[in-house]
Amino acid sequence: MTDSLWAALEPLLPEVRSPSQYIGAEWNSVRKDPAGVRAKVCFAYPDAYTIGMSHLGLQIFYGMINARADALCERAFCPWPDMEQRMRARDLPLFSVDSHTPVRDFDIVAVSLQTELSYTNLLNLLELARIPLIAGERGPNDPIVVGGGPSSTYPEPVADFFDLFIIGDGEETFVSFLDLYIEMKGRGASRAEIVRAAQDRVPGAYVPSLFEFAFEGGRLVGISPDRKVTKASVASFEDAYFPTAPVVPYAETVFDRINLELMRGCPHRCRFCHAVSFKNNLRFRSVDRLLEHAEQTYLSTGLDEIALTSLSSGDYPHLRELVGRLLARFKSRAVNVSLPSLRIDARLKEIPALMKPWRKSGFTVAPEAGTESLRRVIRKPIKDEDLFETVRAAYREGWRHIKLYFMIGHPNETEADLRGILQTAKTCSELARESQGHRAQVNVTISPFVPKPHTPFQFKGQRDFAYLDEAVRMLRDGARTTRVQIKAHSPRGNYLEAVLSRGDRRVGRAVLEAHRLGCKFDEWREFFNFDAWMQAFERAGVDPDYYARRDIDEHEVLPWDMIDVGTSREYLWRELQYSDEAHRERTAHVGA
């Protein structure tokens, strides 16, 4: 099935960038005979190979499905534009990298939506695969296109392009869909019947064609049927499938490392954070199980870095024991251990010493706001004192530079908060003098605030570009002649993210227009074309400000109301009131 496509692809490889991303046959990749299975799944990642192959979810799916005797899973990615141009010129379809089978020949195409800025990639991917973009236009022989990942909890802007979504932890739910598919296909059910049955029989399934949205005077006024899709959670995280033999790419990827998933969820509730609602239900893996995962993965891959990944790994209750046992086991094998996601509190001060034995890259923390008082407003109550003590400890233990993440443009942000970002970064730089005798390099990444569904700040609108551009300029100017480097995410990219987060089904027309206008890889600075997006909104008759900049009322019908992630509207609204109260208190205090 694949030899002729490979014969056409192979001559293109010397002409394109990073050709190894297209050849497959990587270490631990799996080839199965399609004739021997009852369901063929293609995991299509709507970004480049280098991004997709660093995604733990892809490795989980790939390993989990291929572990079954009755199914196979292969991978597909967005070809880089140089490859895409050659494929289009020769009329070659999108293919799986494993066996170079046309993606269209699979039974199920699973797409993980990690970011809204991948939506045009999704359409490009479907078009290259020759799968009709609109779900309603697909025929009985087209694959079933299934969406998942964080953005599937507010799916409406891409609802028209999916046959169904599976919302929540995919380990058990996707398997349950696969079982349903195999069972129904076996007794001759049609594609449409299988999709319809999924709505009732698969936990977390949302079939957009079975829901109707009513608009009046331009506003969403109702969703029918009046039923909720409840986000699915894996029953036992301890025992959930973990890929101990992940595929090891030949091409360089964003992260070449073993990802140990310590926990799912986060004990905190920062008011801007969507990740905590998507992964809620705090669950931990035991140290013994994690050691097993680390050992087996190391033996099967030879990778020399173990990343302790999770939303907030510093909160893992047995961190000291885990790090100690990893050290005992891996130090002599020259395997590095890193902790990418840390939340600052009194405990964090211990972490630099804990991680001392390993090679050091930058020490990363995310205060998010420049002042303690704004941090209380966003419910990330980090004390300056704790932050600076942690940074001091990091320098003492040999870290040479610090990375800080901040959000700008929160509706309650003041000029003092912006100045606080600079001041915090400069202090972090200066603190290195105490143990190292000179200022340290501090890299600050700034991202404009995005109101995310299912968070208390879903009700807040974004600030305008004049404010955000000025804030970025002010921060850059203030950092001149210091050792603080400011890297700012584009306010226009984050504006688009807000539109695609809070959008309803009408926004899908604009996504389609943007695709027709050639938008793709919107998350990549070199490709992002904001003017084309604005043209797309105009052509589609969609006002992007309506979705990004407007404050939303307490009782307004929201396009994601049918998705229940476990946090009620009442809770979110109450949290918003607490946040406003915290802001009033701090401004009253300043005025007094």
List residues binding ligand SF4 (CB under 6 A): 266, 268-270, 273, 275-276, 311-312, 343, 380
DSSP string over 43-99 = EEESS-HHHHTT-HHHHHHHHHHHTSTTEEEEEEEPPPHHHHHHHHHTTPPPB-TTT
HEC sequence for 94-139? CECCCCCCEHHHCCEEEEECCCHHHHHHHHHHHHHHCCCCCHHHCC
CB-nearer residue toward ligand SF4: 98 or 261: 261
Smallest distance from the beta carbon of 313 to ligand SF4, in angstroms?
10
Q: How far is the CB of 447 from ligand SF4 (least distance, A)?
A: 12
Q: Which residues contact 58 (CB under 8 A, 6 or more apart)?
A: 43, 45, 52, 75, 112
**Euclidean distance between CA atoms 258 and 306, whole angstroms:** 5
d(CA 206, CA 155): 9
* Calpha distance 122→103 (Å, rounded): 13
Task: Return the number of the residue (143 or 409) whose C-beta is nearest ligand SF4.
Answer: 409
Instruction: State the Cα–Cα distance between residues 201 and 189, nearest whole angstrom.
Output: 15
User: Measured from the CB of residue 374, what is the shortest distance to ligand SF4 in angstroms?
Assistant: 14
C-beta closer to ligand SF4: residue 21 or 277: 277
- Please, which residues bridge with residue 223 across strands? 213
Distance of alpha carbon 547 from alpha carbon 498, whole angstroms:
7
Per-residue CA distances from 190 to 131, 141, 274 (Å) = 17, 9, 36
The neighbouring-strand residues paired with 264 are 283
SS3 content of the chain, % helix, strand, coil (to 5): 45, 15, 40
Report d(CA 204, CA 172) in Å as an integer.
10
Specify the residue, 375 or 483, whose C-beta has the smaller distance to ligand SF4. Answer: 375
* Residue placing its CB nearer to ligand SF4 in the complex, 9 or 308: 308
Residue 358 burial (CB < 10 Å; 0-12/13-18/19+)? buried
**Cβ of residue 454: shortest distance to ligand SF4, in angstroms?**
12
Task: Give the residues across from 110 on adjacent strands.
Answer: 43, 146
For residue 379, the minimal CB distance to ligand SF4 (Å) is 8
Q: How far is the CB of 472 from ligand SF4 (least distance, A)?
A: 22
The sign of the CA dihedral 518, 523, 525, 526 is negative
Between the two ends of the chain, the Cα-to-Cα distance in Å is 76
375 vs 492, which CB is nearer to ligand SF4? Answer: 375
Q: How far is the CB of 277 from ligand SF4 (least distance, A)?
A: 9
Q: Whose Cβ is closer to ligand SF4: residue 132's or residue 340's?
A: 340
* Nearer to ligand SF4 among residue 268 and residue 320 (C-beta): 268
**Which residue number, 87 or 311, has a Cβ lying nearer to ligand SF4?**
311
Lookup: tokens for 298:
């190391």
* Cα–chain center distance at 330: 30
CB of 267 to ligand SF4, least distance (A): 7
CA distance 101 to 82: 20
Residue type, 138: R
Instruction: Quote the least distance from Cβ 312 to ligand SF4, whole Å.
Output: 5
Q: How far is the CB of 270 from ligand SF4 (least distance, A)?
A: 3
Q: Which is nearer to ligand SF4, 79 or 451 (by Cβ)?
A: 451
Are 517 and 509 in contact by the 8 Å Cβ rule? The answer is no
Closest to ligand SF4 by CB, 312 or 390: 312
CB of residue 314 to ligand SF4, shortest distance in Å:
9
CB of 247 to ligand SF4, least distance (A): 27
Measured distance CA(294)–CA(519) in Å, rounded: 40
Euclidean distance between CA atoms 235 and 336, whole angstroms? 32
Q: Tokens 């409406």 map to which residue?
A: 156
CB of 265 to ligand SF4, least distance (A): 8
How many C-beta atoms surround the C-beta of residue 557 within 10 A?
15
Of 208 and 453, which CB lies nearer to ligand SF4 in the complex structure? 453
